A and B are shown apart, each in its own frame.
Chain A
């Protein structure tokens, strides 16, 4: 399934809500086993919450390897590479790495203890 991102959200990928709209456009096909091609041609501005809503939710029930295999990112401008990578890495760590969650909990515990 090919998804032209510009036609769904325009050239500015900057809201969580727009990310949810993009996610809704392909989630069902993804769950049915399709490979999704997200074409970012004509898009320009990107923030992490957009990817948090559009792609990161897939990592709750699927591995990062599977998501990267079946969700192809096409024509993503340079400005989008870091927020996308940041979003996926954080979500992958949070959902799949128990040590990351433990470390985060330890940080929280330390912060509370120092208070």
Chain B
């Protein structure tokens, strides 16, 4: 099956294309070629998602190829620079630029992931932050990382990719797993503990429950930590989108909005946008 990849940024319709295409691929169950001839731009969210989907297809014995022949130069350079093509045996090693490398954590590797965030995402001088603030930010993103290996049962672990947009003053990072999704775990928990039927809770409502401080599908109600990451994104005037099943949460300075997603995705995708400017950011406790 050949997939013609369109221009993909991180607009809602771009996520919809990714999720819809993945659903179609799963029903086909065969070898796949991704054709980028009509792709004028590919964002970090698409790189992380297509990479994770490709790994999952490979684990099922399907062959996956990325056609580079007609690929626009800009897209080809991006996929080479972030190491995506190299990861799939189709190009040279990546190099430093405005990309944050494509990465797959098939097994939990917290130290490796921390190093990735500190050196590749926050340590390149795009956002000027104190060491203490950098550790606080990495700790917050670490909450999402830990959630994958604690809750998701993702067969390919976690895939990540990022991008710096200097003209927009934006730094973006996407994390995606192909596990059971937030709503699935929440429904199973509520079925077991509250005798609620799964169909009584929409994916949107399950997401809303997971964001409540103190909720957890693990015994003891000790919290998923999503609210800590949410607080930080709001303070930064950034944005965070989380997609899982038909649920969609958008975090901005205005608050958290839960809405249904028009396309289903069985796993969880987190897209983080940080706003960068010339200011030096530090924790308020560091003020002299």
Contact = CB atoms under 8 A, between A and B. Distances in A.
Main secondary structure of the interface of A (DSSP, over half): helix
Interface in A87-115: 87, 90-91, 93-95, 100-101, 104-105, 107-108, 111-112, 114-115
Contact of B202 (A82, A93, A100, A115): A115
B259 to A, nearest CB: 14
A1 to B, nearest CB: 24
Contact of A91 (B209, B220, B225): B220
Interface stretch (B35-43, B63-71, B106-114): B106-114
A105 to B, nearest CB: 7
B222 A47 contact: no
Interface in B61-85: none
Contacts, number: 123
B221 A94 contact: yes
A82 B132 contact: no
B114 A14 contact: yes
B139 interface: yes
Interface in B18-35: none
Contact of B196 (A44, A86, A107, A112): A112
Interface of A: 10, 12, 14-16, 44-50, 52, 56-57, 60, 77-80, 82-83, 86-87, 90-91, 93-95, 100-101, 104-105, 107-108, 111-112, 114-115
Given A47-B143, A52-B222, 19 more contacts: A12-B110, A12-B114, A15-B110, A45-B138, A47-B225, A48-B224, A49-B222, A52-B220, A77-B135, A79-B135, A79-B138, A82-B228, A83-B228, A86-B228, A95-B220, A101-B221, A107-B212, A108-B196, A111-B201
